Chain A
Amino acid sequence: MTTRQHGANDVVDAVVIGTGAGGAPLTARLAQAGLSVVALEAGRAFRPDEHVADEVAADIYWMEERLSGGSTPTAFGSNNSGMGVGGSTLHWGAFCPRPDPRDLRLRTLTGEGADWPIDSAELTRYIAEVEAFTGVSGPADYPWDATRRYAYPPVARNAAADAMARGCAALGITATDAPAALVSRDRDQPHWGQRQACVNCGACHQGCRNAAKTSMDTTYLPLAVAHGAEIRAGARVVAFDYDGRGRISAVVYSQNGQEHRQLCAAVFLCAGGVETPRLLLNLGIANSSGQVGRNFMAHVATQIWGRFDAEMRMNRGYPSSLISEDMMRPGDAGCAGGYLIQSLGVLPVNLATGLARGAGLWGERLQTLLRGYNRMAGIGINGECLPHADNRLTLADEVDAFGHRKARIDFSYHANEQAIDRHARRTLSDIWAAAGAQDICAVDRSAHTIGTCRMGHDGDTAVVDSDGRSFDIANLRICDNSIFPSALAANPALTIMALSLRTADRFLASDD
């Protein structure tokens, strides 16, 4: 990518903060519309083949310390937070079911949670556009949506997927090949080059080394650069300047230890569910609603593990190659919303820390399971989480290297999450027993960072409007998982990318 350079005194049309699923698609869209755009990324740029197929050495995660409280504290770092040009899409699992339309109207349908101020059909049009531009592999017939078509055939199932298919069949639960945001055939990606077919290496979370997986650095960012956008890596935003009308006039950032300013007409803050609210709280802006940091949500991500007689070698193959949406509305569970089921193959360190933390194991049982890594396989969920007043991000007293206070996130399961967790443990254990697993155990876990800058119709109860525009600062827009009013059971990245395109379109259609 040859990048156009904007001068320090140029007033660019837009500065985008963060180059992940929230920032990258809109950067491309704005640049394609002829706007001058500078995207600032805190992390460094990677070539795909620079990624390291090693759980400890992979360096694509946001590893600056966050404090985790509440009765079910959620893990950060490699669990959910990315750093680098491409953001969390460098390490995401690429499991990309579409959001269930019912989940966007949860309040209307169940009286709980929150409705999205966006029409499901409109969001789906953007999702289909993202799928078409990035290339998704999936089944020819999707049991829960007869209209669904995927561009590429599904990737090979691995041993965990075969076991889940077996267990589900025995229990009458429908399961099929998972929609995966990767290409199962070579693909020429416009403005980037060849993305090679997935080779089943199993190291998606350490960074895809042959660009099979959809990642912003191999899809939307090259498109953006081809249309004149500039990406500045290693650029950490620390402050804003304002004009007399309270609009942001410049973004102040630190790069290589030096402070820089980029004059701009508009700002898109796309730093994710933790860093976005943290920046706003540290700067004390955009919070007349008092909602910044509130309603933090993490998906219920309970896992069930077991030992098989067969040699599973679960690190082989795309890790989550089977899906079931049958539990999206488990009638008897006592929860609003529901959960997706996926087969799980994880690498050894992930398994070990999961069992040691989330299953509370140590001693002979833990040792035996880990020694038998090659015979282990898992099954897990991604379950709806409702916003709750007690679950929120605040600022700790400790500061980081830039003088900003660290984030403290308090998160506790409440009735809905507890009900989903209970139902999933029972259902998944049954599936795993039917599949032939022994020594079955559950791992408590939550995933993704959602909420904290919710969108809505009312500036008293939301941080941004349905276009992602701040109620307080006219030229500030937010686009990432922080603006989700409710969690949706579907993994968030696909929805974030769709919202990103929509945010750009709404901005371009506005009178700014």
Chain B
Amino acid sequence: MTPPTLLFLHALGASAREWRQVADHLSDHDCVALDLPGFGDAADAGHADVGTMTDWLAQEIRARDLTACVLVGHSMGGKIATLVAARAAAGEPGLANILGVVLVAASPPSPEPMDETRRAEMIAWFADGQASRDDAETFVDANSAETLPEALRDQAIDDVRRSNRAAWLGWLERGSREDGAAAVGQLALPALIIAGTEDGDLGEDAQRRLNLPHYANARMRVVQGAAHLIPYEQPRALAALIREHAALATTAALPEDFARLLDSDRVSSGTRAAMLDRIYPMPVGTALWDDADHATVAALVARILPDCGADRALAGRILASVAQGVGDGWRFAELPDDRAAWSRGLATLDTATGGFVALADPDQDGWLDRIAGGTVGIEEDASRLSPVQMRLWFEDVRAETVRIWMAQPATMAAIGYDGFAVGGDGPRKQGYTRTGADDPEAWQRPSQERGA
């Protein structure tokens, strides 16, 4: 799979140019750095409030018709990245190609922490139109741990000075204060959250408090010796972090034609959101299960669905689902509640087999055959399951395993299923016009599996 396009969003008073050195270190990626409205070459666009900027970015992503992309947002650009990621998670069409987010000293969706004296000072710089050279120097130098190389410093200063006055004031007076935290909620999209060790208001502590809670699958990294202008200060280190995250995010990517179908107007926002949410698991408290439990469930997965092998990720999803206790509306009366049944079932399996994971495949199959036959179990022990209970629990294990696996968008892609693409949000639902055997519609992806 080709690497995803990297979409770079700059900070207040900066422009696409701030990413040039970073992009030089990512030449094997398609790098697109954008000038946000009111800044850089787009200064004439004037002020765009946060909502308008978010709309604009969503439209830019759609217009570029990208197979896959990762949003990289610096400071102010980070807030816009998170807000667009939230709209993707809500199932908005044309955004399902966003595979991940990198936040660089990013402004959070909630009000950005900012010293009010400094805010007033920055507002004052643009009181009479354009900031003075001196004021712009103050801004750039205050945000760098060490003075930037001359050419870069001049460029950064120039970008501040060419910022649109209304855009500059709009962010400081309103945009940075807008609170979108509740609307964003918690996103499943994988995020890399980066802070400079020498940054002030948007340093590591602020990132942990204000950005991290919005991403269920997030990693934090700090860049040593960098303040706020990390793309200028440490382009090589930053590029390495972005590269690693893009690779990680790509592992979850769906086949290109499937991803395009999912992003099309044949799919409703609600269905798209549900499927995207399932690509990245929401971590839940795993205190219930230890590593041995995960290993045992992975071994069971390999016996139930041989194509999957001992899939630890699938095992994790299964155990997380049991831990969440949502259930499917019923359980066997012979079994305790699901969590207890799985704990006791796994313990019984290990005791009865003397360690299930270590057994050879045929021996594991033999035990499962006997469990299904109702002859394996431990009677009269409140921490174990009886043979009757083991038979029922193994039925639950099979059902839960195939349910979770089948509901994965990647599985749907693999088996050639497209029943989610039967009706978007328009006034007429598309459905299917052809329903007979061997009569695919033009838009349908070919089935991988051939007949026997």
Q: Which residues of A contact B (CB under 8 A)?
A: 49-57, 61-69, 73, 75-79, 81, 156-159, 162-163, 196, 198-203, 209-210, 307-313, 315-317, 347-349, 351-353, 355-357, 360-364, 366-367, 370-375, 396, 408, 410, 438-439
Contacts and interface: CB of A to CB of B under 8 A. Distances in A.
Contacts of B332: 67-69, 73
Contacts of B270: 50-52, 57
Interface in B388-440: 395, 398-399, 401-403, 405-407, 411-412, 414-417, 419-420, 422-423, 425, 428-438, 440
B152 interface: no
A364 B307 CA distance: 8
Contacts of B303: 362-363
A65 to B, nearest CB: 6
A410 to B, nearest CB: 7
A57 B304 contact: no
B387 to A, nearest CB: 15
B327 interface: yes
B447 A311 contact: yes
Contact of B431 (A51, A75, A77, A200): A200
A313 to B, nearest CB: 7
B328 A77 contact: yes
B385 to A, nearest CB: 16
B274 interface: yes
B67 interface: no
Given A65-B330, A310-B451, A353 B435 contact: no
B417 A373 contact: yes
B425 A49 contact: yes
Given A158-B436, A200-B431, A366 B402 contact: yes
Contacts of B372: 360
B173 interface: no
A375 B432 contact: no
Contact of B402 (A65, A353, A410): A353
Interface in B16-60: none
A56 B274 contact: yes
Contacts of A315: 417, 419
Interface residues of B, number: 60
Contacts of A408: 333
Nearest to B329: A77
A215 to B, nearest CB: 15
Contact of A66 (B329, B432, B436, B449): B329
A62 B328 CA distance: 9
Contacts of A81: 329
Interface string B262-275: 00000010110011
B437 A356 contact: no
Nearest to A51: B270
Contacts of A157: 435-436
A362 B398 CA distance: 7
A302 B428 CA distance: 36
A69 B331 CA distance: 9
B333 A316 contact: no
12 contacts: A53-B420, A56-B274, A63-B327, A69-B332, A201-B423, A201-B429, A201-B430, A203-B419, A210-B429, A315-B419, A316-B435, A363-B306
B431 A199 contact: yes
B326 interface: yes
A202 B432 contact: yes
A3 to B, nearest CB: 25
Given A63-B327, A81-B329, A310 B406 contact: no
B278 interface: yes
B431 A54 contact: no
Contact of A309 (B307, B334, B451): B451
Contacts of A347: 419
B257 interface: no
A374 B450 CA distance: 9
Residue from A49, A63, A308 having most chain B Cβ neighbours under 10 A:
A49
A55 B409 CA distance: 12
A134 B142 CA distance: 71
A352 B405 contact: yes
Contacts of B275: 54, 57
B146 interface: no
Given A67-B333, A373-B415, A374-B447, A367 B399 contact: no
B274 A362 contact: no
Contacts of A410: 333
A57 B277 CA distance: 10
The DSSP consensus for interface residues of chain A is loop
B365 interface: yes
Nearest to B417: A348
Contacts of B412: 348
A322 to B, nearest CB: 12
B305 interface: yes
Nearest to A73: B332
Contacts of B274: 52, 54, 56-57
Contact of B416 (A67, A77, A349, A373): A373
B329 A61 contact: yes
Given A356-B395, A357-B398, A156 B435 contact: yes
B451 A78 contact: no
B330 A438 contact: no
A343 to B, nearest CB: 11
A124 to B, nearest CB: 32
Given A200-B431, A209-B429, A370 B406 contact: yes
Nearest to B438: A310
Contacts of B430: 199, 201
A65 B403 contact: no
A225 to B, nearest CB: 23
Nearest to B401: A356
A474 to B, nearest CB: 34
A67 B331 contact: yes
B330 A202 contact: no
A204 to B, nearest CB: 11
Residue from A201, A309, A364 having most chain B Cβ neighbours under 10 A:
A201
B413 to A, nearest CB: 12
A349 B436 CA distance: 22
Given A67-B331, A367-B305, A201 B398 contact: no
B416 A363 contact: no
A278 to B, nearest CB: 13
A57 B438 contact: no
Nearest to B396: A357
Nearest to A161: B435
Contacts of A53: 268, 271, 419-420, 422-423
A366 B333 CA distance: 26
